[in-house]
């Protein structure tokens, strides 16, 4: 595929009800997608179930070879995939955005293909021998989000296929074209029936999470939807991996150089225009450096270009959908009304096309303000002043989610000591949100359960079996 138009033609619906998808930056029509329901899920699951025994019968190195071929296919189609992603999701081509996301798809495919998972010898004492193996589960149901639709789909697809499962994936209703195109490209390298995408509505998602022939559900999205999936999976006791909402805290210790950390703080918070589960969403800054950190962040943020994603100079884009735009705008206005100080932004052009909300920094805000306590999932960062480490840790831990967190300090030992007190699945030191395909990732508290990436991620999409002799 040489262009995004060719990709769209390859995945265009041929019959049945359809829905238009529009560019959140311009409002222009991007393409149309099928609107499929429970019947389409049933058909896809039946096909995947039929293909699974043959796929599982292949040796690990044979399945790995297929995944490496799929990574090659993604690499070859990288530019049209990135352009389609930019048009549908809104993220710019450059910066940590569309081209970055497609590149990550290739990286995670290769990582899943080449990660070794050997049987673990549990007992070997001369009298008995026990080993722990991981077998395929069967059919995995994957339900993805709209913020990183391609990359997170690969996080679900690649390890599942590597372990001998087949996959039925339902993309978000906001970003179906990206995932349909990605699956089309990946399937050019795979046997028929092992990976099937269904562009559906809520009925399709509910059927997928409750289908009796689905052995595991992988979901990335809101905590509320995750709870609904837990309930619908109960009757068939499905395995689950849930990466749910986050409201990540960062704690800045008083020994930092504010200018030196400003760029990394900004991108920790504003990557993908703030639409990232593990983005920095609450920044706690010691009173000794509070004003200097606010000033350094403001100086950096005011020079970051925002605009239409296909314009090469932009690195911040629109909110993907108007509903999310309205949430961010409401939270900022409520903070302003409560007396918070807007350092930058907070003044969207209501007459401009697209869902553009400016990069916004909010200072002198109370910890109990909704902008701090609720996940804003957009380009608005509250900056909260603190006096003692105990106070900062208590505020950071004071929400019911715990996906990621970060500590910023010139003294890494001091930062690690604070990190060990934080209730989150990952804590970064002097950065925020960076992921590695070999480093396990998952949440604490109501940010979900189950691990992704590396050896632990492969285990999560396998069924453990102990063989004793």
What pLDDT digit, counting tens, does each position of 125-148 carry?
999 999 999 999 999 999 999 999
Q: Where are the domains of the chain?
A: 4-244+447-468, 248-429
User: What is the chain's mean pLDDT, rounded?
Assistant: 97
Nearest partner of 430 among 255, 185, 245, judged by Cα: 255
Q: What is the mean pLDDT of residues 228-254?
A: 95
> How many whole angstroms separate alpha carbon 368 and alpha carbon 283?
13
Total Cβ atoms within 10 A of residue 356:
21
| Rg, Å, the chain Cα set | 23
Nearest partner of 215 among 135, 136, 133, 138, judged by Cα: 138
Is the pLDDT score of 168 beyond 80? yes
Handedness of CA 431, 434, 439, 442 (dihedral sign): positive
Distances in whole angstroms, Cα of residue 26 to Cα of each of 18, 23, 262: 21, 6, 31
CATH class, range 248-429: alpha beta
Is the pLDDT score of 295 beyond 70? yes
Q: Kindly state the tokens that stand for 378.
A: 């957009």
Q: Kindly state the tokens that stand for 106.
A: 């290739």
Nearest partner of 97 among 148, 28, 27, 22, judged by Cα: 148
Q: Which of 243, 294, 375, 452 is catalytic?
A: 243
Handedness of CA 410, 414, 417, 423 (dihedral sign): negative
158 neighbors 457 (Cβ within 8 angstroms)? no
Q: What is the mean pLDDT of residues 360-378?
A: 98
Is the pLDDT score of 467 beyond 70? yes
Query: At what angle are helices 98-114 and 78-89 packed, to 10 degrees?
Result: 120
Residue-wise pLDDT tens digits, 419-459: 999 999 999 999 999 999 999 999 999 999 999 999 999 99
Question: pTM for this one?
Answer: 0.96
Specify whether the backbone of 381 is left (phi greater than 0), alpha (psi in -120 to 50) or beta. beta
Residue with the two structure tokens 């009298």? 127
pLDDT band at 350 (very low <50, low <70, confident <90, very high): confident
pLDDT value of position 202: 87
DSSP lists the bridge partners of residue 120 as 132
Whether 243 is a known active-site residue: answer yes
At a CB cut-off of 8 Å and minimum separation 6, what does 173 contact? 146, 200, 201, 202
Q: What is the mean pLDDT of residues 22-34?
A: 97
pLDDT band at 351 (very low <50, low <70, confident <90, very high): confident
Measured in whole angstroms, how far is the alpha carbon of residue 456 from the centre of its chain? 18
Residue-wise pLDDT tens digits, 69-92: 999 999 999 999 999 999 999 999
Distances in whole angstroms, Cα of residue 109 to Cα of each of 84, 385, 453: 20, 42, 11
Whether 277 is a known active-site residue: answer yes
pLDDT value of position 1: 66
* Calculated CA dihedral for residues 261, 263, 269, 275, nearest 10 degrees: -160
DSSP lists the bridge partners of residue 104 as none
Structurally, at CATH architecture level, domain 4-244+447-468 sits in 3-Layer(aba) Sandwich (3.40)
Residue with the two structure tokens 């349909």? 180
Is the pLDDT score of 212 beyond 80? yes
Q: What is the mean pLDDT of residues 182-210?
A: 96
Q: Which of 88, 101, 105, 277 is catalytic?
A: 277
Residue with the two structure tokens 């993604």? 74
Handedness of CA 315, 318, 320, 323 (dihedral sign): positive
Distances in whole angstroms, Cα of residue 206 to Cα of each of 85, 108, 180, 214: 26, 28, 19, 12
């Amino acid at each position: 595929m040489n262009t995004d138009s060719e990709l769209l033609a390859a995945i265009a619906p041929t019959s049945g009800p359809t829905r238009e998808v529009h560019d959140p930056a311009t409002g222009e029509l991007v393409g149309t997608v099928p609107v499929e329901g429970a019947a389409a899920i049933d058909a896809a699951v039946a096909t995947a179930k039929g293909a699974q025994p043959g796929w599982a019968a292949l040796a690990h190195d044979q399945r790995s070879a297929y995944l490496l071929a799929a990574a090659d296919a993604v690499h070859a189609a990288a530019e049209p995939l990135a352009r389609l992603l930019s048009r549908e999701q809104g993220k710019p081509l450059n910066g940590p955005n569309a081209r970055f996301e497609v590149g990550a798809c290739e990286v995670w495919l290769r990582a899943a293909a080449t990660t070794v998972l050997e049987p673990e010898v549990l007992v070997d004492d001369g009298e008995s021998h026990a080993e722990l193996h991981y077998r395929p589960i069967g059919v995995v149901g994957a339900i993805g989000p709209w913020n990183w639709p391609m990359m997170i789909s690969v996080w679900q697809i690649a390890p599942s296929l590597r372990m001998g499962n087949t996959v039925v994936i339902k993309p978000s209703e906001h970003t179906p074209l990206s995932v349909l195109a990605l699956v089309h490209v990946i399937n050019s390298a795979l046997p028929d029936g092992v990976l099937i995408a269904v562009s559906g509505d809520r009925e399709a998602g509910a059927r997928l999470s409750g289908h009796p022939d689905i052995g595991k559900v992988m979901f990335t999205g809101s905590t509320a939807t995750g709870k609904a999936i837990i309930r619908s999976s109960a009757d068939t006791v499905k395995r689950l991996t849930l990466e749910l909402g986050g409201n990540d805290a960062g704690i800045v210790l008083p020994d930092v150089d504010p200018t030196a950390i400003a760029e990394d703080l900004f991108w920790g918070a504003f990557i993908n225009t703030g639409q990232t589960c593990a983005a920095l969403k609450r920044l706690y800054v010691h009173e000794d450096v509070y004003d200097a950190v606010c000033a350094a962040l403001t100086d950096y943020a005011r020079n970051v270009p925002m605009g239409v994603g296909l314009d090469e100079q932009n690195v911040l884009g629109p909110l993907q959908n108007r509903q999310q735009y309205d949430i961010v705008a409401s939270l900022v206005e409520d903070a302003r009304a409560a007396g918070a100080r807007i350092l930058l932004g907070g003044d969207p052009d209501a007459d401009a096309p697209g869902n553009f909300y400016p990069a916004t920094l909010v200072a002198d805000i109370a910890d109990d303000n909704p902008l701090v306590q609720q996940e804003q999932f957009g380009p608005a960062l509250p900056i909260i002043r603190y006096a003692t480490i105990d106070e900062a840790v208590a505020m950071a831990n004071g929400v019911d989610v715990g996906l990621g967190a970060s500590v910023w300090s010139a003294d890494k030992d001091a930062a690690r000591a604070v990190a060990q007190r934080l209730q989150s699945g990952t804590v970064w030191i002097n950065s925020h949100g960076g992921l590695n395909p070999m480093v396990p990732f998952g949440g604490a508290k109501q940010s979900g359960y189950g691990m992704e990436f590396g050896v632990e991620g492969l285990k999560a999409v396998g069924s453990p079996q102990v063989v004793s002799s």
